Structure 1
Amino acid sequence: MAKGKVRRRARKILGEEPVALVWCEIHKPIPAPPKDVHRAAGKGRLTSRQHWLVYAGAVVFFFVVVPVIVIGSLGRKDTPRAGRGRSRERDRGQNPVDGVFDGDWNLTAGQLLLRWYGHSPSPKRLVMLTRDRICVAASPRRRLSPTKADDFRTVTEFTLDEARIEAAAGQPRGYATFRLAFADGSWLEMGRLGEPEDADHFLRTVSG
């Protein structure tokens, strides 16, 4: 469960006790938007800033692991299966945004995605519900603890006429997702819900 200082910060931001709150993420990579759309939105970054150890690991992988794999594969011939590439292209064409959002970059969900990492280098967002609002908050830090973070601030909020939460009841813990659905028909799917008690209470609240 969120620690006292997290809830105190939430109360201070909202001006009231939240009905439910949960840390969550966009649980799949943000798809690449059209270049003109990305440029019009300020060309903000679409990925999180990784810790330096991640980059160090990538260097080790590239200069140590990859050569070993290449050497081990010398002499083996892999005949490409006919139609494999076309099949993958066809799958991508059928589902170009992979369930992240509705696909229209000009609507509310798409515009929110374009500015996702402009608010914080961390992928985590705190979704807070009140009786008449849905508030999305972020911490300025790249890495944070969902139970202890108390420096988050609201990055956007919606009235219940502008947005709603859609979620199925009884989802398995660890795989649960919900959708932030907007009045213009767009939607954004969230997952990787933090803190089991917060997640369970949040899903019960929005699916009840």
Structure 2
Amino acid sequence: MTRRGKQRVVTDRLGIHAEAGEWCTIDKIPQPPADVLEDADNPRLRPARMPLLGMVGAVLGAPFIPVITFLELLAKIESAVMRSLDTKEEKERWRAKKEDEKRRDATITQQGLDKVFDGNWHGNAGQFLLRWYSHSTHHQRMLLATQEEIVLAAPPQRVSVGREKHMQIVARIPASEATLVDPFSGEFETRTLLIRFRDGSWLRVETEELRSDLHMHVLRQSRTDA
């Protein structure tokens, strides 16, 4: 079944009509100040540990890591050799790509997008982040965009397999309170999206797929609003 087919099955089971959706993760939550933690009743700030089945899989896969690393190194060497044989036009495209990456990285630094949120624990994003793993101890979220709200779904507890099977809605954010934003306005192919709250605070998520359906949905919405 295709990714979109799986998504339709999931949304039907959840009883919602989503215009786009994608699995996403967040970076490590920084340690909040003591008073913030106390006010929030000392919430969980980390996902649950990998289940036993996942740990067994990781152990069994460990011997192959050096092989994979070696193959990746060979691929990089091959790529470098092929680039040296590129035509003038291909080399120009490569340089343009590297320049785009530099501009993207500069934007990330300027806007603080290397952080998981805007840094204000008392803002809406900071308060929502404090409850992230109280909603579910799974390390991923299915982020779904509907006309009325942003929906986050996940298994209640962390799983290593069958995430769609165990998934349920763990949080809802009305469209009047937050919107999805591509901080690069579609200029670069990235996995980054922001949940931007009406008070200006934001929370960064990283999608599994590069320039996912969610990115394209956000881009279409921005063009419609313009």
Query: What TM-score bracket applies, with the shorter chain setting the length?
Result: 0.5 to 0.7
Gaps of 5+ in 1: 58-93
Tell me the SS of whatever aligns to 1:110.
Answer: helix
Is 2:24 the partner of 1:10?
no
Q: How does 1:94-109 map to 2 (within 5 A)?
A: 98-109=114-125
Query: Displacement, 1:21?
Result: 0.5
Is 2:217 the partner of 1:200?
no
Query: 1 CA distance for matches of 2:112 and 2:179?
Result: 24
- Corresponding position of 2:25: 25
Query: 1 CA distance for matches of 2:6 and 2:116?
Result: 31
- Corresponding position of 1:160: 175
Query: Displacement, 1:5?
Result: 5.5
Choose from 143, 166, 169 the match for 2:159.
Answer: 143
Query: 2 CA distance for matches of 1:43 and 1:183?
Result: 25
- Corresponding position of 1:124: 140
Tell me the SS of whatever aligns to 2:212.
Answer: helix
- TM-score (normalised: structure 2): 0.62
Q: Which has the higher contact order (CA 8 A, sep 6+)?
A: 1
Asked if structure 2 preserves the Cα contact closer than 8 Å seen for 1:20 and 1:129, the reply is yes
RMSD, matched Cα: 3.0
CA, structure 1 residues 24+150, in 2 after alignment: closer, same or farther (shift >3 Å)?
same
**1:119-169 deviations in Å (ceiling 9; x for gaps):** 2222201111112221112212313458x6132222222222211111132
Tell me the SS of whatever aligns to 2:3.
Answer: coil
CA, structure 1 residues 14+106, in 2 after alignment: closer, same or farther (shift >3 Å)?
farther
Query: 2 CA distance for matches of 1:29 and 1:104?
Result: 16
Choose from 128, 146, 160 the match for 1:112.
Answer: 128
CA, structure 1 residues 38+151, in 2 after alignment: closer, same or farther (shift >3 Å)?
same
Q: Which amino acid aligns with 1:156?
A: A
Asked if structure 1 preserves the Cα contact closer than 8 Å seen for 2:20 and 2:146, the reply is yes
Query: 2 CA distance for matches of 1:37 and 1:45?
Result: 13
Asked if structure 2 preserves the Cα contact closer than 8 Å seen for 1:30 and 1:47, the reply is yes
Asked if structure 1 preserves the Cα contact closer than 8 Å seen for 2:7 and 2:21, the reply is no
Moved more, 180-189 or 121-130: 121-130
Asked if structure 1 preserves the Cα contact closer than 8 Å seen for 2:22 and 2:212, the reply is no
**1:46-92 deviations in Å (ceiling 9; x for gaps):** 112222649x99xxxxxxxxxxxxxxxxxxxxxxxxxxxxxxxxxxx
CA, structure 1 residues 184+14, in 2 after alignment: closer, same or farther (shift >3 Å)?
farther
| Bigger fraction of residues in helix | 2
Query: 1 CA distance for matches of 2:131 and 2:214?
Result: 25
Query: Displacement, 1:2?
Result: 3.1
Gaps of 5+ in 2: 60-109, 221-226
Aligned residues: 163
Tell me the SS of whatever aligns to 1:44.
Answer: coil
Query: 2 CA distance for matches of 1:95 and 1:4?
Result: 36
